[in-house]
Structures are given as C-alpha cells and as structure tokens.
Chain A
Amino acid sequence: MTVQDAASQTALAELLLAMADDEFVLGFWDSEWTGIAPILEEDVAMSSVSQDEIGHAKALYELLASLSGEAADEIAFGRAPGAYRHAALMNHPRTDWAFSIARRYLYETADAVRLESLAGSSHEPLANLVRKMRREETYHLLHFDLWLRRLTEGGPESRDRLIGALRDLWTDAQAVFAPLDGEEALVAGGIMPDRLETLRRRWLDRVVPRFAELGLPPMPAAPAPAPDGRRSHGPDFEWLHGEFTMVAASEAGASW
C-alpha cells in the first residue's frame, strides 16, 4: 500500500525521522566507546553495534529521502538541533559503562517491540526495511541482555551502578514511545499496526518481569511520555550536534 494522502505522507515522514534520529544519535554516542571500552574484545563488539545503528539510520534517512526529495546526508547532517526528533533517552552523553549498557538495554528492547509491530506495516518499503533491521537486532538483543545480567551478577559495585543508571534513564526511556504528530493517520492506514501507547505497554510487560527475574529492584512507576519527549534536547545533544556538523559546516556545499 502506497501512501495516499498528504496527512499520511507527513505522518510517515515524522515516524521515519523519529526512528532514524534515534538510531543516528545513539550510534553517535556509543561510537565514542571505540578505542576506550573496558575490554579490548568488547570494544570491537560495541563498535559493531554502533555501526549497525548508523547503517540503519542511513537506510531510514534514505527511505525518507525517497519521499521528501532531499539527500540522506542533508537530512542527517543539515538540521538545527531543535529539528531532530530522537527520544529524550538519547539526549544523555555516554557517561559511564553502566549508563551506556542500561541505555542500550532499554533502547534495544523498546526498539524490538517497535520493529516487531512495523514488520507488519502496510507501507511495503518500511516493512521490508524493518524486516532486515530485525535480523541485525538479534545480535544486539543477545549482547545487551548478556551485559545486563553480567553487571547485575558482577558484584555490588557493578550492580549498584547498573541500578542507578536504569533509574536515571527510566523516565526518558518512555519517550521512545512519545506521541508523534499524525499517529492517528498512520494507525488508520495500517502504516503503524499498533498505537505507540500499546507498544509502550507491551515493552513494559517484557522488561519489568525481566528485571524481577534478575533480582533487580522494581523501577518507579512508568508515566506516559511527555508530549515533547522527542522535541526537547538540551546542551549535551547541542554539543554532539556541533561535533557532527563541524566538518560539513566548514565548507558549505563541498563533497567529503
């Protein structure tokens, strides 16, 4: 099913941008671990995951570009900070290893729920791309569930750091399911088979029991995400934006 009307088209663009920006920004933060991760072997693993995210972002920007006519790199690198639509979860810098693992666990599990649903999207190009992405995400889910367990079981220090990080990130993690303009149109057209709030509940039904299973203390109540969960970014993202636009901005219109 192709996108029939302007409202759906705009709403689809919002969805793709949100997904692409999530992958793009997280891929950037975690790529910082390249060269300085705690263990040499893990350094290579974390870098692969970050590259996968950038690859997914690239594919999503390209899909968006096919709708909007702009080039993928333009979309990725050419906006002011306020125009990015990543979830609040991605506003934080990499911080420490526990923080990065906690964020990764929360994001990967949330993204898995999102992708599962979108694999049945009525918009074929999106459904096809999502199916490809899910195959790569298999490794991510395995890897970060492994690390969640290891940090939980690794002794009091790793456990405390992990719990602290999960708590710090819990509210912002809900923003992966923050409202999108035009959600109604997307759901009505089957482009989004499930509403965002449904997906969020499904995600909570998975992670909350998983935490309990591992003996982690319960998280605070999970409020519905704020309406600006994808629109308010802060100084850390502004710094990151400055970094990733620096070279491109140095010589407008040049090829790199």
Chain B
Amino acid sequence: MRYPVAVNETERAEAFYAHVAGGGKVEPDDWMPDDYRAAVLKFVEMHANSELMGVLPEREWILRAPTLRRKLALTSKVQDEVGHAQLLYRVAEDLGKSREQMLTDLLAGKTKFHNVFHYPTRSWADVGIIAWLVDAAAIVSQQALRDSSYAPYARTMKKICWEESVHIMHGRDVVLTMMNGTDAQRALVQDALDRWWGPLMQMHGPPTKPETDRDLIWKIKAKGNEQLRQEFLSIYVPRIRELGLVIPDPALAYDEAAGRWSYTEPDWDELRSVVTGHGPMSQERLEFRRTHRAQTQWVRDAIIGPVGAAA
C-alpha cells in the first residue's frame, strides 16, 4: 500500500492501522510503523524458535522408532518442523533481523519458545500424543493465522497448515495402534496424556482483552487465545474420549447454556515460569543447541562465510 506523499508520520501510521484493521495486507517492502514491524517480528520469531526447539523432544525417538514405516514418518515429521523453522526465520529475517542474531538471542535465553517444547518425552506414547494433540493445538492457532495482515506470514501459514495435517494423521495413527494393542500400551498412552494435558491447556496462553491485544487489533493474528483453546477442546475432547482415554481434568465439561467448555484453570504461573526458561528441559535443550551450533560453526564459515556478529 502506498500513501500520499504529503502526510506526517502520525497520519501515515493512522492510515496504516486503519488499513490493517480493515483487513488490508502488508508486504515486506511496504512502509510500516516501527511498532507494527516489531510486533510482527516478535510474533514470527517466537514461532520460528518454537519450531526449531520443537524438533528436540521428538528427535530423540527417531532412532528408537519401532518399525520402518514409523521411522520414515517420524523422521519426515521432524524434518518438516526444521523446514517450518526455515520458512519462519526467512519471514522474520525479511523484517530486518538476521537468522544468526535470532539464533544467538534464542540460545542466550533472550527470546522465547512455546511451553510444550520445554517438557521431556518419556516413551513412544509421548511421540504419538505430541504428534496428534500438540500439533492439533498448534494447527488450530495456525489456521487462524492464514489471514494475518502480514502477508508473507499468512502465505507461510497456509503452507505450514497443509504440511501439519500429515503430522496429525501420523500421531493419531500411532495413538490408535497403541490403544488397540496391549494393556501395557494403553497404559503408556494414558500416562502420556496425563502428563501432557496441563501443558496443552496452557499452550494457547491466558485469555487476553481484545481491546488491548495489539496482535489481535492489528490482525497479526485473527483469534484470541481463549477462542483457540475452545476450538481445540471442541474438536479433540470427543476424539480423545472415544478411544477410552480419560482426560485428567474432572472439571472439564461442555456448558450448553454458556456455549463453551469449562475446565480447571490452567496453571498460568507454570506457563510463565516455563517460557522464561525454567521448564524441566529448557536449559538442557538450549545447551544441546548451543553445543551443536558451536561444533558446526566451522562448516558455516567454510560454506557461507563468516558473519559480522558473533555466531
């Protein structure tokens, strides 16, 4: 979008915000207020970081996949997550922050990644639950982002959503196979669900006020946190229960009168603590990435040349 030349910054910003609030789109080379640029960058950067860190919990199980087909599907899924990190870092980089700087900030604990990737995986059942339900919760968010005002992000989300739909099928298949298997396998799945339910309920974040949620006002995202959580519950609670699994929240119930799910309030303190690096696996995983990044620096120097900032 182009603006008439003779306007001052304030009017220009007002015109811009009216444009995005009205469903208008923004491309990388368009003029944008610093606030908007910073908000989009922060949002996309956290998303990219999450894909990159999200690789680690599942990666452990690539070597342990119990059949040839599962090995292929899991490797492919993790590969896709790396691919998503690339796509999202490219979007963020085109807003003015280099990939290298984003990795440095992530590994220094200055920027965040989503809560679910700070927890351990304990069994093959975790692999199924993550691929099914964590990816499902993510896709609920991601579908809502396909109409983001920041057009490169919206386009990337369409590609990501298409790719994620395969992961959910894989995850559901793993869970179903185990639920149709032995008592021990069913117990493993129930145990995994018991451990992952809390983080899943926290994943979309605490409800925010629409009037002060800038990401919502500027249409960087299309739906509020609570709306996303409700959508996730509406689709997936029946699908979880129909397998004979018990959701570990006795207060979880659909309130017909209110037209929404009621549930035990998620532990927002836990969420805050985890995303600021105090989750059970936060430091170990960041350290793992730091080590591998350092060990492979010589390759980047040889192939793409050294970068100005410290690696």
Contacting pair A256 B72 (CB below 8 A): no
User: Are A57 and B68 also in contact (CB < 8 A) when A157-B298, A247-B124 are?
Assistant: yes
> Which residue of chain A lies nearest to B99 when distances are taken between CB atoms in the complex?
A40
Residues of B contacting A96 with CB < 8 Å?
A: 295
State whether A51 and B303 are in contact (beta carbons under 8 Å apart), knowing that A37-B296, A44-B83, A73-B67 are contacts in the complex.
Answer: no
* Inter-subunit contact A61/B68 (CB<8 Å): yes
Number of A-B contacts defined by CB within 8 Å? 123
Interface residues of chain B: helix, strand, loop or mixed (majority): helix
What mask results when residues 208 to 225 of chain A are scored 1 for a CB within 8 Å of chain B, else 0? 000000000000000000
Binds A, one of B1-9, B181-189, B235-243: B181-189
A54-B296 contact in complex given A72-B68, A73-B68, A247-B64, C-beta closer than 8 Å: no
The answer on a CB contact under 8 Å between B72 and A58 is yes
In the complex, which range does the number of interface residues on chain B fall in? 35 or more
Q: How large is the interface on A (under 10, 10 to 19, 20 to 34, 35 or more residues)?
A: 35 or more
The answer to whether B62 and A151 touch across the interface, beta carbons within 8 angstroms, is no
Q: Let me know if A41 and B302 touch, CB within 8 A.
A: no
A247 vs B71: C-alpha distance when bound (angstroms): 12
- The reply on B79 being an interface residue by CB < 8 A is yes
Separation of A55 and B69 alpha carbons in the complex (Å): 9
Judged by a CB distance under 8 angstroms, whether A255 is at the interface is yes
Whether A256 and B82, one on each chain, are in contact in the complex, defined by CB atoms closer than 8 angstroms, is no
Hey, which chain A residues are within 8 Å of B70, CB to CB?
Answer: 256
With beta carbons under 8 angstroms apart, the residue of B63, B81, B185, B289 that contacts A31 is: B63
| Chain A at the B interface: SS class | helix
Residues in chain B near residue A47, CB distance under 8 A: 75-76, 78-79, 82
| A9 interface residue (CB < 8 Å to B) | no
With both chains docked as a complex, state the minimum distance between the C-beta of B145 and any C-beta of chain A, in angstroms.
21
* A41 in contact with B86 (CB, 8 Å): yes
Question: Are A256 and B304 interface neighbours, CB within 8 A?
Answer: no
- Min CB distance B284 to A, Å, is 14
Q: Within the complex, which residue of B174, B177, B184, B296 is in contact with A97, where a contact is CB–CB below 8 Å?
A: B296
Say yes or no: is A32 at the interface (Cβ < 8 Å to chain B): yes
Do B298 and A35 have beta carbons less than 8 Å apart?
no
Q: Name B69's closest neighbour in chain A (CB-CB).
A: A58
Is B228 close to A, CB under 8 A? no
Does chain A have a CB within 8 A of B250? Answer: no
- Please, which residues of chain B bring their CB within 8 A of the CB of A155? 301-302
Q: Is the CB of A31 within 8 A of B75?
A: yes
Tell whether A1 is near chain B: CB-to-CB under 8 Å: no
A35 touches B63 (CB 8 A): no
Q: How far, in whole Å, are A43 and B299 apart by their CA atoms in the complex?
A: 13
- Does A38 sit within 8 A of B, measured CB to CB? yes
What are 21 of the A-B contact pairs (CB < 8 Å)? A36-B289, A38-B299, A40-B82, A43-B82, A44-B82, A47-B79, A47-B82, A48-B79, A50-B75, A54-B68, A72-B68, A154-B303, A155-B301, A240-B63, A244-B63, A244-B65, A247-B66, A251-B185, A254-B184, A256-B66, A256-B124
What are the 7 A-B residue pairs with the smallest beta carbon separation, nearest first?
A: A154-B302, A38-B299, A38-B296, A35-B55, A158-B302, A47-B79, A247-B66
- A residues adjacent to B (C-beta < 8 A): 28, 31-32, 34-41, 43-44, 47-48, 50-51, 54-55, 57-58, 61, 72-73, 76-77, 96-97, 150-151, 154-155, 157-158, 161, 240, 243-244, 246-248, 250-251, 254-256
